[in-house]
Amino acid sequence: MRKLALLVATATTYLCFAPSSFAQCNMTVDGEPSVARTGPNQARATATLFPTAIVGTWTVTLRAKLLFTPSGGSEQTVQDQPTSFTWTSSTPTGIGSSRSVTASDALESHGNGSYRSREEVSAVCGGFPFTISPKVSSSMAISRPAYPDYTVAGKYLTYMGGQSGTYTTVAGTQFSNTVALKVGATNGASGSATWDLIQSSPGYASLSCTSCTNPNLTANKESDGCLVYNVQVKTNYGGFRSEPLYVAIERPKSTIKPSSPPDLHEPVLGGGYLSQIFYETRGLCSGQGSLKGYSFNEVFSNIDNTVDTVTANCPSSRGA
C-alpha cells in the first residue's frame, strides 16, 4: 500500500501543509505494474492503481513506461503512456475502482533483450501536488526466432548454371543449385511464418514462394567471393523477423592438376594414343575440397590438345 497525503490539521502520519482553505486531503493507493508478451508479437507494460482510502478530491495521473534493455546494453524507456482521472471521497475504495494504462511496442523494434514495466503516480489535491516512489515489474526476456536452415544438413547452395542435381566433394559436402529451407525455433513468436529474401543487390538468388512451409532457394549467380554473404534469408512472424541465415553462394570455379594419380598415356590398336589426364574441380572456397561425380566439358583448342580451364560452378559452413 502506498500513501498520498495532504493534511492541514495536526497529524503525525501525513505530510503537513497549511493552505488558507484548511481543507484536508489524504489518500492511500495500491496496485502493481506488469509486463507481458501480447499479439501480434508485442511487449506491453501495464500500470494498475486502485484506492484503499480517500479524503478529498484528487486528480491522479497514472503512467506506464515500457523499459527495454538490449543484450549487453543499458535500460531505456521505449514507450511512455499516461492517463489522468479524478477520485473523490465518494469514490468506492478497493479493486473495483481500479484504473489502468498500457504502453506497447513491437518486438521487431528492439530485437533480443529484456523488458520491464515501470509504474509512476502523481496527484493533486487542493492545489498541492504529490508523487510517490515508482514501482518496477520483474523482467521478461525476448529472443528473436532462430535463423532458418536447409532441410538437408550438409547441403549448400551453389551456382551450377541452372543445372539440377547434387554434387558432392571428397569431404562429403553436398552442393546444389536449389535447396529447400525450413524454419528455425520460433522462440515464442506467434502467427505463421513468411519468408524474407535480402540481397546486397538483386539477382543472386530467388525464393519459390514466400508464404509456404519449405520454400526452395535457387542460386542465380555466385557470390562476390569465398564466404561473401550477399544473401540473407529470414522468417517473418507478422513483422517480427528471425535471426538471418547468411548465404554465400559457391560455384565450381577452376580446374587444377593434382599431384596424383599420374596421367596415363597408352598406345591403342591401329595407331595413336589413349590419354587419361586427371584434374580436380575447385570452387570459390578451395578449402571445401574438390568435387566428385561432376561432369565438365573438355575443349581442345590447339594442336597440343591442351585442355582449357573450365569454369562452371561450389559454399562453406552454416549458411554458406
How many domains are contained in the chain?
2
Residues 12 and 128 in one domain: yes
- Are 181 and 215 in contact by the 8 Å Cβ rule? The answer is yes
Q: How sure is the predictor about 100, in pLDDT bands with cuts at 50, 70 and 90? A: very high
Q: Does some domain include residue 262?
A: no
**Domain closes at, from 247, 264, 299:** 247
Residues 104 and 183 in one domain: no
- 172 to each of 156, 287, 320, how far by Cα in Å? 11, 13, 15
**Domain closes at, from 105, 120, 142:** 142
Q: Is 43 exposed, middle or buried (0-12, 13-18, 19+ CB in 10 A)?
A: buried
pLDDT at 165 (0 to 100): 72
Provide CB contacts within 8 A for 303, sequence distance 6+.
Answer: none
CATH number, domain of 6, equals: 2.60.40.10
Residues 57 and 116 in one domain: yes
**In the predicted structure, residue 184 carries a pLDDT above the cut 50:** yes
Q: How sure is the predictor about 293, in pLDDT bands with cuts at 50, 70 and 90? A: low
Q: Does some domain include residue 313?
A: no
* Domain around 11: 2-142
Residue 163 and residue 157: Cα distance in Å, rounded? 12
pLDDT at 275 (0 to 100): 78
pLDDT by residue (tens digit) across 136-150?
A: 999 999 999 999 999
Residues 219 and 201 in one domain: yes
4, three cell numbers: 498520498
Q: pTM to 2 decimals?
A: 0.76
